[in-house]
Structure 1
């Protein structure tokens, strides 16, 4: 199961992998802008402390991706 979340000009690609009934592990990727100059464009980042329910996995991945973007380009002013 995949989802793309737009955030501050970037795309956060979330992927879930079913590991048990109603439980999934999640990964996310950050794509966009000129992030490739840092060598991170397309790096797959796994979630920790899983597995999660599907709803919780999507939320966790989205928030982690947004935090990563904020670290890369700074806080919104």
Structure 2
């Protein structure tokens, strides 16, 4: 059972892309909730939610790509 190293590297890149977003998203979300008196509150809240959703998407895509590389799931 050989591992597809290019596909595995691509999955690791997705996970490394998701890692900073996992910290940035909740920070932006918290900032939006603490500054409710500001006019930009809703915009910052939407941006924080989008960053969190992108982080989860990239993490799942990275894990799926890595499992495809490890178990030779060709499509």
**Going by fraction, where is strand more abundant, 1 or 2?**
1
**Going by fraction, where is helix more abundant, 1 or 2?**
2
TM-score, length basis structure 2:
0.35
TM-score, length basis structure 1:
0.35
Q: Which has the higher contact order (CA 8 A, sep 6+)?
A: 2
Q: Which has the larger radius of gyration?
A: 2
